[in-house]
Every structure is written in C-alpha cells, then in structure tokens.
C-alpha cells in the first residue's frame, strides 16, 4: 500500500493506493512508475511531456494531456512490514524548481512521519473492515467499544450453512479443508458485497450476513438485494463444483458441495457483547435466531433457498409457498417460501 501526494502548484492532496498481489499482476501496475519505487526503492523523476517517458510509463501521456511538466516519486519508508511512498507532479513551466526540490528533501523526515500516521490509520481501518465488516469496523474504529453498547436496526438477515461439513472434515486434510473453505466463502462474500450487504460472521462452515434497511435502502430493495446475493452465491458454489482447473483442493472427494440459505427480515441489535477482556461486536436478536432455525429446513424441504414470509411479501417476482413449518422455540408455525434459484 502507498499513500501518494499529488502537487498542483502549491497545493498537496493525499490519496491512498492499494497495491496487493492481484494488482501487481495487472498491466497498469507493471507499466506504472510506482513499480520501481515499490520494488526497487529507487526514485523516479521524468517529464510527462517526453515521448520516452510516455512509452515507458503510459500514465505520463494522461499527465501530459493535463498539462503536467514534471513527475517525481520516491519512497518514504521501506521495510519488511510497511511501505509508503510519495509522488508529486506540477504544471509549472520547466518543472519543479531547485528551491522546491530542496524544500521537499528537507521535509522528507516529517512527511514520512505524517504519511506513516495516515497509513497506519488506513491499515487499522482495513483490518477492522476485513475482520468485522465495513459497518461494524468503522464503528469500532470510532470508539464504540463499550460492552453492551449498540443499536437496533431493521435488516434482511442471511444465514447459510455448508452441508456435510463434519463428514468432509473427517475425510480431508486440514490444510486442504482451509483452502476449500476459503474458495467456498469467497464466492458467498463476493455475492453479498456486490449487492451492498455486509458479512458479519463466519461460524465454522456457516455465514451470517445482513442487508440493512435504512436511509435510501428500502425494505423491498434490501430484500431484492439479499435474494440476488443468495442466487449469485449458489451460482458461485455450483461453479466451484464444476471447475476443471485451479482446484481449491487436490482431493476431489469434497465434490459436490451443497448448502442452504435462509433469508428473514426484522429488527437486529448490533452491539458489543462479551467480558471485560474480550468483546465481540455482533448481531443478535429474535430475527437472527429465527433465520438460523429456518436454514436447516432447506434439507427437509429439498430447497437450497428459503424465504420467510416477511421477506417473501417484499419480493416482486412470483414466489412458491412451501407451507407452514414448526420451529423450535417459536409458538406458531412459520410460513416458508422459495423462488427459482437462478431466475429460471
């Protein structure tokens, strides 16, 4: 990851640029002036108007068209754990003046310290987002860490569970099982995030996600997003079953994978629970409990995707009623519905 500052005259603007393993394989990165700075630690200074610079680094053509006359990039901090850099560009005739270069060189230690502070804050934000989800991660980073603190919101809840996980774990090496779970969850998480949902928790082979209902996200929109995500998640699992190359596990005895997904709507409490020394920011409440108890009925009904009546009533397309089912801990039977998984 790098924090880049672009100078326009005497103004500076800091931007974050994430450089991960996937990005490093792209043409944009391979032909970027950031590459030699990141990989070799050397400084880069070129005139974007120069044809050689444009052929070496195609982005220089864009800068040239915008009127830039000088581009300078250099590392601020480079070690095994963290890397930060700075790039500067100017439209000033003749490029950066000697006085500007000397001033920046004198400021480099202070710039390195300030960029490191910004970078560490971004790293903390990304780590919390990765482990807790975007919504919860931002709240924890903002200081919402008191035990019992939280809020109740309306949401469509997703609960999913892989079939025969215990049996698979007994048959497959642990390292292979981890690779398989990663591939399995990647398809589900992508499906949820693409529809604006948030993954809240992984529990073994199970996943809890939410599609909040607030602001511009109406209840029908949240239900439609959750349904689209569920369908896409099932498609992703089917694709994993059918993949011929890049297998997540060399032991193919896991095929075919199967799972159930339940969608239910209602109030959910997002908050901190736990002890004084160990907290978990999670979603709890009757809505979550009921969704978790509906999901196993996918085996009973033979349908991989189940909707409670509170979700089904929001869906604009035709739904199929499966009947009323007794649920442990719920006094009255619950009406369940389904839809064609892939829009067929």
Quote the CA–CA distance of 200 and 282 in Å, as a whole number.
7
Which tokens hold the place of 128? 């919390």
Looking at per-residue confidence, does 237 or 140 come out higher? 237
Q: Are 159 and 292 in contact (CB under 8 A)?
A: yes
The pLDDT of 78-84, averaged and rounded, is 64
User: What pLDDT sits at residue 328?
Assistant: 85
| Region of poorest pLDDT, from 6-20, 206-220, 222-236, 322-336 | 6-20
**Beta carbons of 284 and 273 less than 8 angstroms apart:** yes
- Contact indicator for 69, 48 with CB cutoff of 8 Å: yes
pTM: 0.64
pLDDT at 20: 57
246-286 pLDDT tens trace = 555 555 666 788 899 999 999 998 777 777 777 677 778 89
Higher pLDDT, 11 or 176: 176
Is the pLDDT score of 11 beyond 50? no
Residue 5 pLDDT greater than 50, yes or no: no
Residues ≥6 apart with Cβ < 8 Å to 140: 128, 132, 281
Look at residue 3 and tell me whether its pLDDT is greater than 50: no
* C-beta separation of 203 from 260 below 8 A: no
Q: How far is CA 192 from the centre of its chain?
A: 9
Cβ 306 vs Cβ 263: under 8 Å:
yes
| Nearby residues of 241 by Cβ (< 8 Å), 6 or more positions away | 255, 256, 257
Task: Please report how many Cα atoms fall inside a 13 Å half-sphere around the Cα of residue 256, on the Cβ side.
Answer: 10
Question: What pLDDT shows up at residue 344?
Answer: 41
């Amino acid at each position: 990851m790098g924090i880049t500052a672009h100078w326009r005259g005497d103004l500076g603007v800091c931007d974050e640029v994430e450089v991960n393993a996937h990005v490093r394989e792209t043409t944009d990165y391979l032909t970027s002036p950031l590459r030699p700075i990141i990989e070799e630690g050397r400084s880069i200074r070129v005139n974007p108007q120069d044809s050689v610079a444009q052929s070496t680094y195609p982005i220089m053509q864009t800068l040239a068209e915008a009127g830039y006359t000088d581009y300078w990039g250099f590392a601020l901090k480079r070690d095994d754990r963290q890397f930060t850099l700075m790039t500067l560009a100017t439209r000033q005739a003749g490029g950066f003046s000697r006085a500007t270069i000397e001033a920046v060189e004198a400021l480099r230690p202070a710039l390195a310290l300030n960029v490191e502070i910004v970078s560490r804050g971004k790293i903390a934000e990304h780590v919390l987002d990765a482990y807790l989800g975007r919504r919860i991660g931002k709240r924890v980073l903002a200081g919402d860490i008191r035990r019992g603190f939280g809020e109740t919101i309306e949401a469509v809840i997703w609960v999913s569970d892989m079939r025969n996980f215990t049996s698979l774990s007994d048959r497959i090496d642990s390292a292979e099982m981890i690779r398989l779970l990663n591939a399995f969850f990647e398809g589900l998480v992508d499906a949820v995030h693409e529809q604006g949902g948030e993954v809240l928790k992984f529990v073994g082979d199970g996943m809890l996600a939410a599609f909040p209902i607030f602001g511009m996200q109406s209840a029908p929109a949240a239900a439609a997003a959750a349904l689209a995500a569920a369908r896409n998640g099932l498609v992703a699992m089917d694709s994993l079953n059918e993949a011929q190359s890049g297998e997540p596990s060399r032991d193919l005895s896991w095929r075919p994978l199967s799972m159930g997904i339940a969608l239910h709507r209602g109030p959910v409490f997002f908050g901190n629970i736990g002890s004084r020394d160990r907290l978990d920011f999670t979603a709890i409440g009757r809505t979550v409990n009921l969704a978790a108890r509906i999901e196993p009925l996918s085996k009973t009904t033979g349908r991989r995707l189940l909707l409670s009546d509170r979700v089904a009533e929001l869906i604009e397309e035709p739904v199929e009623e499966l009947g009323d089912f007794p649920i442990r801990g719920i006094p009255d039977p619950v009406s369940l519905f389904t839809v064609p998984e892939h829009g067929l």
